[in-house]
Structure 1
């Protein structure tokens, strides 16, 4: 409930400022809820007045009619909320509010699923702290919960896979993997890594069969959606080509300078760098390495899947991911894949990491909170190596810098006064997933 209220209250509801990727998905969902069809024009061929100049408009291969060019899940996810807004609340004019509320609620569900997955090995308080850090001190809040990006669905799908795998519910893990596929097709790599990895670790065929079968079912439904909307069986939706083909298509090759430059930008560019916005990840890496052997097989499989997915992502697309959002978006899948193993390994953190991690997370929280609540300071692709959104906000309004310091200090002091340093304590109880596996 806390995350749902927080995310709904801070979600981007201004049609002027939201990214055209996001607005296109909302427009497509609104038209389906309004007419029962995905077409953006009327019977006379006139485009709907809600279509913006920057809307990504594609066409159906069978009848040539214009449609919103986005991945299936981004459009489909907010159709129910758009239907409620029109048919129940009586809203006639297009609004991004239903889409924003959908993103907020789906991301709140994702953080809850992560908490439930972590609680299988951690105590309630430690699992909750890790979930709060994940949901409030990273771009999960400023991107996935702020507007309905494909990452809203991939974060939900991967956290759902984590929870279902921790419960040994492999069919459910496959369905959640399918949710991720509806958001970004190449999350297939993460889904496959979990299925194959868990089966290999346990020397059981059931996990990979169940995960594979149910995720393929979800993929077939995405293909059916694409056939209806775009006149093509390709489940890549409005992108027009299977993402697996982009690696050999020069128009989708990596950013200027090649793969290494793109990968460096993904990690450390001031505008979109994973380690710039979430430096706590770097602090946690030594603990993860030391605690690796103690992590459950599903969590380790997620790490493998996240790394492979990221390498492929860097290969097929530029690290910036466009503009009109605060933080990074292409690193969210790797972030969620790393989080369970990091949380399970924090008791292996050294003295220096234990001292620096709480204030660093407090600072991350302050920076992310300001960008999530107040839209602005967005960095464009051309300034990815020379600008940072938070710095731009502080330059425009120096009082926000003071506010960030006060927030970070307050969170850190609350941490110290609450005596939650046992977050780094060693596990003393047998993990629930291991107890169940021994009883099988």
Structure 2
């Protein structure tokens, strides 16, 4: 994505032929003599353009692209924090945001280079922020931007739009979200026409993904064995498994049933949309997401869509059970530590993109980054864990937290009813009624 971003600024063209380092990677398609065009999606490319324009470099550098990735992830965390504030306590919102930012691959991978995940997470976080504010226009804009970054995020938009219309008994959500997401699709197709010279949905190496998703022959992904292993490895493989590198998430699973019962419709539909997105993602692609990075990559976007439910799960169960709360804190600290070390370690030792060779599914990356970490990295990472823990760990006692959120649960109504947590309606205080004038006068006489 960084290559065409630079040529758009430097050459005012999508032709990246002058950057010869890309010609052997398989990430571009020739369009004739002296013509080479990237097959990457446009959203991330155009996100990086302003950063290359600011630096205005005469020769290509990856630095502005990396800075754009950092900004995309940082802004995504800002919007997810604002989203969580609309239905959780401030302590929960801050803690969840810090863990998403620093105890997942959002830091070590999506912020480390201009992958599509950073801009996609930013777009999805904007959409969820809009949903939490009952703004379907803002949600539609977010999903349109997400589609430009990763077209199959349209699955999330479709699920949310339809679900919201059913829950609200109104056609407005699906029409608003659908029309704006559809506009994003039109812009995506126009870009492909300009870039490839054809009206086509997928260009270059992506053109084989549909065939891979439906074929069971050589190179096909439509095999029962591949489907099963892809999903198991995505969550549990030592190489890039979600629960291996962010094990604290396991302590949130038992509370999902309680969280689901009180969640607003948009939280449920976002979570289901994230699951379907992952199904589509793995249907035409392998589970690894490539090499040369620490942690995981492809699961980041679905994980972001699950954050609202996971935050409610913390409040409804994990924070109220002593052993679960302590185990969660311990595992979160461990995750923070090795992602801090992994973010500053030598990625040349982590995979095929840097010439080391393809890693096996059962090869754990933590020993690699520990061996290759710069001097002092372990200590600095430990200090960082302490700082994040100081700012992010809830200060309220478990008993008070339990009482508070038990009350919140009783005041909420599930699914389509307007009192659901995070629905944007029925959120007025239902505590003690204001004193009448007669009661005030009586108290003054005491």
Compute the TM-score of the two structures, normalised by the length of structure 2.
0.82
Q: Which residue of 1 aligns with 2:16?
A: 40
Q: Does 1:76 align with 2:52?
A: no
Q: Check the 8 A contact 1:255/1:319 in 2, yes or no.
A: no
- 1:194-231 per-residue CA deviation (whole Å, 9 max, x = no partner) reads 11122222222111110110011011111111111111
The 3-state SS of whatever aligns with 1:67 is strand
Residues matched between the structures, number: 405
- After superposition, residues 202-241 of structure 1 pair within 5 angstroms as 202-241=168-207
Moved more, 424-433 or 28-37: 424-433
Are the aligned partners of 1:178 and 1:216 in contact in 2 as well (CA < 8 Å)? yes
Do 2:15 and 2:37's aligned partners in 1 also have CA atoms closer than 8 Å?
yes
Distance 1:219 1:142, change over 3 A: same
Counterpart of 1:372 (choices 321, 343, 356) is 343
**8 Å contact from structure 2 (residues 5, 52) kept in 1:** yes
* Matching of residue 267 in structure 1 with residue 239 in structure 2: no
Q: Post-superposition shift, 1:134?
A: 0.9
* Secondary structure of 1:77 counterpart: helix
Q: Is the 8 A contact 1:255 1:317 kept in 2?
A: no
Residue in structure 2 matched with residue 136 of structure 1 by the alignment? 102
Deviation at 1:94, TM superposition (A): 1.0
Using the alignment, how far apart are the partners of 2:40 and 2:374 within structure 1? 38
Contact 1:39–1:65 (CA under 8 A) maintained in structure 2: yes
Q: Please report the TM-score for the alignment, with normalisation by the length of structure 1.
A: 0.83
| Partner in structure 1 of residue 65 of structure 2 | 99
Spell out, residue by residue over 1:353-408, the C-alpha distance to the aligned partner (whole angstroms, 9 max, x if none). Answer: 21211121111111111111334241458423232222112234597785388348
Q: In the TM superposition, what is the alpha-carbon distance from 1:238 to its structure 2 partner?
A: 4.2
How far did residue 36 of structure 1 move?
1.0
Q: Give 1:39-438 correspondences, 5 Å limit.
A: 39-41=15-17, 47-48=18-19, 51=22, 53-54=24-25, 56-60=27-31, 65-86=35-56, 91-241=57-207, 243-249=209-215, 250=217, 251-253=219-221, 257-349=225-317, 350-376=321-347, 377-380=349-352, 382-396=358-372, 402-403=378-379, 406-407=382-383, 410=386, 414=390, 419-421=395-397, 425=402, 426-427=404-405, 433-434=422-423, 436=425
Tell me by how many angstroms 1:234 deviates.
Answer: 2.4
Structure 1, unaligned stretches of length 5 or more?
1-24, 42-46
Shift in CA distance, 53/205, structure 1 to aligned 2, threshold 3 Å: same
Check the 8 A contact 1:111/1:135 in 2, yes or no.
yes
Partners of 2:43 and 2:225 lie apart in 1 by 32
Give distance in 1, aligned partners of 2:293 and 2:338: 14
* Alignment check: 8 A CA contact 2:140 2:176 kept: yes
Give secondary structure in 2 for the equivalent of 1:247. Answer: helix
Secondary structure in 1 aligned to 2:207?
coil
Q: Distance in 2 between matches of 1:70 and 1:310?
A: 19
Cα 1:252–1:437, aligned 2, differ >3 Å: closer, same or farther? farther
1:92 positional shift: 1.3
SS of alignment partner, residue 362 of structure 2: coil
Check whether the contact 1:60–1:229 (CA below 8 A) recurs between aligned residues: no
Once the two structures are TM-superposed, the CA of residue 96 in structure 1 deviates from its matched residue by 0.9
- The CA distance in 2 between the partners of 1:415 and 1:345, in whole Å, is 20
The CA distance in 2 between the partners of 1:293 and 1:149, in whole Å, is 35
Q: How big is the shift at 1:107? A: 1.0
